[in-house]
Structure 1
Amino acid sequence: MNDNLKVKDIILKALKEDKETYDVTSEWLFDNQERSRARLIAKEEGILSGIDVFKDVFKVIDDSIVVSSALKEGESITKGQVIAEIEGSTKGILYGERTALNILQRMCGIATLTNACVKEVQNTKVKIVDTRKTAPGLRILDKIAVRAGGGFNHRFNLSDGVLIKDNHIKACGSISEAIKRVKSHAPHTLKVEIEVESVSEFLEAMNAKADIVMLDNMTLEDMKECVRLNQSNCTLEASGNMKLDRLHAVAGTGVDVISIGGLTHSVKALDISLRFE
């Protein structure tokens, strides 16, 4: 299933969730011929993400509904700015309003937070990446929003790459054994990443020829020591408790990547309203 089909599937499921049979309020207030115009207004500043998905919600409902916007994915929006104008069937606009806003507000919230994180590490080599801590069923949208904010995507799913975490290691017995088992199966095109929690574990992972080592919940001093010992053998990813006010200092240790679950698992939706004229 390609990305467009995945997005359409999300829209269809969300619309069905909101309208099991029909919208009783709108059905009893309006006939099929009534038309309205509305504006989509930002109530706070941020980064736009999901405008194309917003348009697609109404296209699925009624392709005669027109959503006009000159803004593009990843652009800045200001408080009070008109993001888009909508015109068409009154019942159709009302049916899609909540679903379209839910998706757009979440995606804008993710893009806005991601952008703030990216700005904290600007002028460094560090990439800000997401995780698989996404809302169930919404992963493709969450990850599109991260990119709109200037971040990068980690794995989309479990088949995208090897990531040996603490429970894998405990079940295998050791870091070296886990890497050995994986490398006996993995093709040369697939990178092997492993999570470690101390400098000694990092050395074991590096000596076992891991491609990427995730430094999980380490102090700044320990991260700096891993960077010193690494000498560019592995890509180093810092993770765990990566709050906005800590990112600049973490980037200063010399790591290559900072992964942040909070970009998607507990993001605050951007405040956006749809108002009829």
Structure 2
Amino acid sequence: MMDLDIPPTQIDADVQRALTEDVGAGDLSAGIVPGERRARAVVICRQAAVICGEPWVRATLRQLAPAATVTWRVPDGGRCEPGQAIFEVEGGARELLTAERTCLNFLQFLSGIATRTAVFVDRVQGTAARVLDTRKTIPGLRQAQKYAVRCGGGHNHRMGLFDAVLIKENHIHAAGSLPAAFRAAQALAPQASFIQVEVETLAQLEEALAIGVTMVLLDNMPLASVRRAVAMAGGRCSLEVSGGVNLENIRAYAETGVDRISVGALVKDVTAADFSMRFAA
């Protein structure tokens, strides 16, 4: 499994919220099944996908069916073919029926992110550019979504406002100038993993380079300007492209020589992967 880097308590909390929402006071439909009935179920993926979600599935089963046994077939970060079995589970039939939708919801959502990320990552193979996510996540599920990006071969930008500094247009306006904003950010440097400055023009890039900025985000710059920005920087700073990046143009941006490309669509424009659970004989 991929490096999770998420506290188990966070995963348990994610699952508990989902179960409270779905199960509430009890599963009325599962009540029609005799309590002593046991079952074996197989979960398959109906499409080619990159799998993600095992920790959340296991946490769901621990909370609802602690005696169930799970055999996982495709690890997180692994690719599957249409119709391939992802995991098998055996336990009380009632408990498995109640757990089914929550397990599949996490699996389909996170695998959708991992699969989409892998498509973007595949497009930039052979270049030096890394594909990153953004903070455009569903509230309460950011850590899960960023884990899914890693499963798809992407990289994480900052986790939140607390771990790094990104000086954007509004920060510069409120601080009075780019140098003033950057100096204030440097005072926070011991607390920040990095300081990055967003620029929209080549003139702003020149100003950033002049004051010693070492990480620059090129916001919504056309391809020709990005090429000029790479030449201007001459390796003096790390350059990231953001805004307007899609599957049709990401390769061209990567070939300019930028270091990073952040894509909000990895976590906000997600198509769920198609999974199904079936009871087996």
TM-score, normalised to structure 1, is: 0.95
Q: Deviations over 1:32-86 (max 9, x none)?
A: 2111121101111011111232122111212111221232111110111111112
Query: Are 1:180 and 1:208, in contact at CA under 8 Å, matched by a contact in 2?
Result: no
The match for 1:15 among 7, 13, 19 is 19
C-alpha RMSD of the superposition: 1.5
Structure 1 runs (4+) greater than 6 angstroms displaced: none
Matched position secondary structure for 2:29:
helix
Tell me the equivalent position of 1:108.
111
How far residue 185 of structure 1 moved from its aligned partner, in angstroms, is 3.2
Q: Against the structure 1 CA distance between its residues 190 and 37, is the aligned structure 2 distance closer, same or farther, given a 3 Å change threshold?
A: closer
Letter in 2 for 1:229: M
Are 2:74 and 1:71 aligned?
A: yes
**In 2, Cα distance between the equivalents of 1:216 and 1:180?**
21
1:93-137 Cα deviation digits (max 9, x unpaired)? 111111111111011111111111111111111111111111111
**Per-residue deviation at 1:190?**
3.6
1:4 equivalent in structure 2: 8
Shift of 1:276: 1.8
Per the TM alignment, residue 213 of structure 1 is displaced from its structure 2 partner at its CA by 0.6
Select the residue among 218, 222, 234 that pairs with 2:221: 218
Q: What is the CA-CA distance between 1:189 and the residue it aligns to? A: 6.6
| Structure 1 stretch displaced more, 140-149 or 187-196 | 187-196
Partner of 1:24: 28
Paired residues, what number? 276
Residues 215-241 of structure 1 deviation map (CA, whole Å, 9 limit, x = unaligned): 011011111111111111111010001
* Cα distance in structure 1, aligned partners of 2:248 and 2:49: 18
Residue matched to 1:274: 277
With normalisation by structure 2, the TM-score equals 0.94
Once residues 77 and 141 of structure 1 are traced to their aligned partners in structure 2, the CA distance between those partners, rounded to angstroms, is 20
SS of match in other structure, 1:24:
coil
Q: 1:42 aligns with which of 33, 45, 55?
A: 45
Aligned to 1:127: 130
Alignment of 1:48-67 (within 5 A): 48-67=51-70
User: In structure 1, what residue type is equivalent to 2:135?
Assistant: R
Cα deviation, 1:191-230, whole Å, max 9, x if unaligned, reads 2101111111111122222221100110111111111111
Q: Contact conserved, 1:42 with 1:83, CA < 8 A, in 2?
A: yes
Q: Is 1:171 the equivalent of 2:178?
A: no
* Mapping 1:130-209, distance limit 5 Å: 130-187=133-190, 190-209=193-212
Q: Which amino acid aligns with 1:12?
A: Q
| Partners of 1:106 and 1:269 within 8 A in 2 | yes
| Structure 2, gaps ≥5 residues long | none
1:229 and 2:232 correspond = yes
Determine the C-alpha separation between the residues in 2 that align with 1:12 and 1:192.
Answer: 36
Per the alignment, residue 85 of structure 2 pairs with 82
Task: Kindly state the Cα deviation for residue 2 of structure 1 after the two structures are TM-superposed.
Answer: 5.3
Q: Deviation string for 1:225-275 (max 9, x for gaps)? A: 111111111110100011011111000111000001110012111011111
- Whole-Å separation in 1 of the counterparts to 2:122 and 2:218: 22
After TM superposition, give the deviation of residue 182 of structure 1 in Å. 1.4
| Offset at residue 188 of structure 1 (A) | 8.5
**Residues 166 and 196 in structure 2, CA contact (< 8 A), matched pair in contact too:** yes
Gap regions ≥5 residues in structure 1: none
Percent identity at matched positions? 37
